[in-house]
């Protein structure tokens, strides 16, 4: 019979009360749904938008926000690299905007240049490799790991031996994002680096960002040293530029407008720019040989250091481009900077007139000049407005943006999923985590469904005088938090020699006082006549327990099983304390380790992934669980 009659529900006050109840329920539901929705949204974000409290990530419906996410991942979350490549003043990726008017014709010429020009591997930096701020695993790093695993049949020891690495696990495999602008990062010619270059050669060209010495010169040197006010630069160099957009990096010192500009360029070339982009003309060969003779003393010493067989210093050719490593590279760098003989005080260095730069910027200028012949023709055919080939910039921003627009759907899926993929890859590569958790949860549920019902059945069937005292004792154990018993349990299991075993995980918790209390109350509600009839038919105690008690108790057993599963699945501290061997770690321990080295978005993704098994179990057993709640109330 309903509490309110049909007539009573029509009263205005009753309707207002019901409306208030529904409103309270809706508000209460929103207080639970909204934080959960924020966590789902946060699991798809990166460092650039993690502070935005929107229930739906903006990049899923806004192309400008998608471009910011794309640029952030493409430049490996390094805004300095973004500013150099695109000649931008954006302080962070949050302030990045798409190019206002991309030029498809100019982009097609750029693509032709890349296809027709044999550029070295270090001419570009592969994107989607590193996320130092978001601390997640980007697309190309995932692919690189899979390629290594496929090449070496998942044998990490073999890979370490052949590539000269010392990774402790496949999850530890990483590669710092490339940086070929400054002299701080050299060119390592190692087996691991060569394996990366082979992988890099098979990736789409649009995943690379090509080195722009012009952008490096203007954005990281001039604007840093002379501020962003062009008037300060003009005062220091005796020039009259209207803005930094008019300032260009000369290929050689002769293109500098003033002596001060020439001095700044010389400092940039001799001390700052990566050696791979510097060339020394053949006219400096005699000075180079004199430098080698003064530094090494004799040709025998040089041959031993260089592993060569020259008969005299006059036979040594000038190395136009720097070698990759070794004593030859060190000497070339010292000669470029200027080496002073400690005995005589004489300084050896190439004259500034013999220095020049060779990078993708200048190769692109040469390509344009060879293809179009005149600037007027290029401007007419491509719709550009440059006054000389030397002032033409690489259209990388337009190129990347148009590539993004070709398939925004796949990029949205990638950015929505890569944090989850990082979690799944981490857990899959730690394969024992899944196996250990499955075994642990299965044993915990089976023991909970065996030990607790047996204890409750004995107390319910035989009415022992001390039953209620035992129940009170069991319930009193719930007054103490589990952490209190972990130390004595650990000591006891250690003395028994059971650490790092599944028995140590399941035995301390296989009997639960509250579960026995619930089961005894449910068993007491079962009709006694059933047991009397079964006894008259010759059924023994086990048959009555299994066929009658357990069959009629499926709802409450489902609740006990779910509780045992949840307790075992979410067990972290006890599992880490008892099983300190990594081979026995469960998923919760591995996820904790992942969260210590990951960003906020990956942490949210790991929590959602960890909730999936419990959600599936509850979804599959919800009817039985609800019966366990309703049936006792009806009785």
pLDDT tens track for 286-342: 999 999 999 998 999 988 888 888 999 988 888 877 876 778 888 989 999 999 988
Tell me: pLDDT of 260 over 90.
yes
Q: How far apart are the first and last CA of the chain?
A: 16
Tell me which of 474 and 100 has the higher pLDDT: 100
The mean predicted confidence, pLDDT, of the chain is 87
Tell me which of 242 and 2 has the higher pLDDT: 242
Q: Which residue has the tokens 């010292």?
A: 334
pLDDT score at 628: 55
Using 50, 70 and 90 to split pLDDT, how confident is the model at 6? Answer: low
Is the separation of the CB atoms in 59 and 389 below 8 Å?
no
Return d(Cα 490, Cα 482) in angstroms, integer: 12
Neighbours of 19 (CB within 10 A): 10
Tell me: pLDDT of 633 over 70.
no
Using 50, 70 and 90 to split pLDDT, how confident is the model at 88? Answer: confident
Q: How distant, in Å, are the alpha carbons of 59, 117, 150, 170, 590 from that of 570?
A: 33, 57, 34, 26, 12
DSSP three-state, residue 357: strand
Vertex 201 angle, CA 103 and 357, to 5° = 65
Tell me: pLDDT of 93 over 70.
yes
Neighbours of 433 (CB within 10 A): 23
pLDDT score at 186: 65
Q: Which of 407, 388, 383 is nearest to 105 (CA)?
A: 383
Return d(Cα 337, Cα 567) in angstroms, integer: 66
DSSP three-state, residue 605: helix
pLDDT score at 67: 96
pLDDT score at 626: 66
Return d(Cα 196, Cα 124) in angstroms, integer: 13
pLDDT score at 617: 82
> What is the per-residue pLDDT across 583-599, written as a single tens digit (0 to 9) for each?
888 888 888 888 888 88
In this prediction, what percent of the chain has a pLDDT beyond 70?
A: 95
> What is the per-residue pLDDT across 115-124, written as a single tens digit (0 to 9) for each?
999 998 889 9
Q: Which residue has the tokens 């990062």?
A: 185
pLDDT score at 1: 46
Q: Which DSSP state fits 317?
A: P
Return d(Cα 426, Cα 438) in angstroms, integer: 17
E-strand stretches of 104-179: 124-126
Return d(Cα 553, Cα 555) in angstroms, integer: 6
Q: Which DSSP state fits 217?
A: I
Among the residue ranges 184-198, 417-431, 590-604, 612-626, the one predicted with the least confidence is 612-626
Tell me: pLDDT of 475 over 90.
no
pLDDT score at 634: 46
395-432 exposure pattern, b = at least 16 Cβ within 10 A, e = fewer = bbbbbbbbbbeeeeeebbebbbebbbbbbebbbebbee
Tell me: pLDDT of 23 over 90.
no
Return d(Cα 364, Cα 373) in angstroms, integer: 13
Q: Which of 288, 241, 251 is nearest to 273 (CA)?
A: 251
Tell me: pLDDT of 398 over 60.
yes
Tell me: pLDDT of 458 over 90.
no
Tell me: pLDDT of 406 over 60.
yes
> What is the per-residue pLDDT across 116-162, written as a single tens digit (0 to 9) for each?
999 988 899 999 999 999 999 999 999 999 999 999 998 999 999 99
- 406's torsion region: left (phi>0), alpha (psi -120 to 50) or beta? alpha
Return d(Cα 578, Cα 587) in angstroms, integer: 15
pLDDT score at 629: 55
Query: Average pLDDT in the 196-207 region?
Result: 93
Return d(Cα 467, Cα 519) in angstroms, integer: 13
Q: Which residue has the tokens 């299994």?
A: 546
């Amino acid at each position: 019979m309903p509490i309110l009659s049909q007539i009573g529900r029509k009263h205005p006050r009753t309707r207002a009360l019901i409306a208030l109840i529904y409103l309270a329920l809706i508000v209460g539901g929103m207080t639970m749904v909204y934080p959960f929705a924020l966590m789902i949204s946060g699991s798809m974000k990166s460092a650039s938008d993690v502070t935005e409290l929107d229930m739906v990530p903006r990049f899923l419906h806004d192309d400008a926000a998608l471009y910011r996410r794309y640029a952030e991942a493409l430049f490996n979350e390094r805004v300095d690299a973004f500013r150099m490549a695109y000649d931008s003043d954006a302080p962070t990726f949050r302030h990045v905007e798409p190019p206002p008017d991309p030029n498809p014709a100019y982009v097609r010429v750029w693509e032709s240049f890349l296809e027709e020009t044999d550029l070295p591997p270090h001419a570009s930096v592969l994107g989607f490799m590193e996320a130092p701020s978001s601390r997640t695993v980007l697309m190309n790093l995932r692919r690189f790991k899979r390629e290594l695993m496929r090449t070496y049949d998942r044998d990490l020891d073999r890979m370490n031996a052949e590539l000269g690495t010392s990774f402790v696990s496949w999850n530890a495999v990483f590669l710092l994002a490339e940086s070929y602008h400054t002299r701080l990062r050299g060119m390592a010619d190692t087996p691991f680096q060569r394996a990366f270059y082979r992988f890099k050669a098979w990736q789409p060209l649009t995943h690379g960002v090509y080195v722009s010495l012009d952008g490096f010169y203007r954005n990281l040197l001039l604007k840093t040293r002379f501020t962003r006010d062009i008037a300060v630069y003009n005062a220091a160099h005796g020039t009259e530029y209207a803005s930094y957009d008019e300032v260009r990096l000369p290929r050689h010192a002769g293109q500098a407008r003033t002596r001060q500009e020439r001095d700044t360029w010389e400092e940039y070339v001799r001390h700052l720019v990566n050696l791979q982009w510097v060339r020394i003309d053949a006219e400096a060969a005699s000075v180079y040989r004199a430098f080698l003779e003064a530094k090494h003393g004799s040709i025998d010493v040089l041959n031993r250091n260089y592993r060569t067989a020259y008969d005299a210093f006059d036979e040594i050719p000038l190395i136009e481009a720097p070698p990759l490593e070794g004593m030859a590279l060190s000497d070339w760098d010292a000669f470029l900077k200027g080496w002073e003989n400690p005995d005589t005080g004489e300084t050896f260095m190439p004259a500034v007139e013999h220095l020049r730069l060779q990078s993708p910027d200048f190769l692109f200028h040469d390509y344009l000049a060879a293809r179009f012949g005149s600037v007027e023709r290029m401007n007419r055919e491509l719709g550009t407005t440059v006054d000389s080939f030397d002032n033409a910039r690489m259209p990388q921003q337009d190129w990347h943006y148009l590539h993004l627009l070709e398939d925004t759907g796949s990029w949205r899926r990638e950015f929505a999923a890569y944090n989850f993929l990082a979690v799944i890859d981490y857990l899959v590569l730690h394969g024992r985590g899944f196996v250990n958790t499955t075994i642990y949860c299965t044993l915990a549920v089976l023991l909970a469904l065996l030990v607790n019902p047996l204890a409750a059945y004995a107390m319910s069937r035989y009415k022992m005088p001390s039953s209620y005292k035992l129940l009170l004792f069991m319930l009193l154990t719930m007054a103490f938090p589990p952490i209190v018993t972990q130390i004595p349990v650990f000591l006891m299991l250690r003395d028994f020699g059971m650490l790092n075993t599944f028995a140590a995980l399941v035995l301390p918790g296989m009997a639960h006082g509250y579960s026995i209390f619930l089961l005894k109350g449910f068993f007491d509600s079962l009709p006694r006549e059933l047991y009397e009839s079964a006894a008259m038919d010759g059924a023994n105690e086990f048959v009555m327990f299994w066929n009658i008690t357990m069959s009629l108790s499926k709802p409450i057993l489902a609740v006990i099983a779910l509780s045992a599963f949840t307790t075992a699945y979410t067990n972290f501290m006890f599992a880490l304390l008892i099983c300190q061997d990594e081979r026995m770690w469960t998923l919760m321990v591995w996820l904790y380790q992942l969260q210590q080295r990951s960003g906020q978005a990956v942490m949210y993704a790991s929590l959602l992934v960890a909730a999936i098994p419990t959600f599936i179990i509850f979804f599959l057993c919800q009817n039985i669980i609800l019966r366990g709640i309703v049936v006792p109330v009806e009785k």
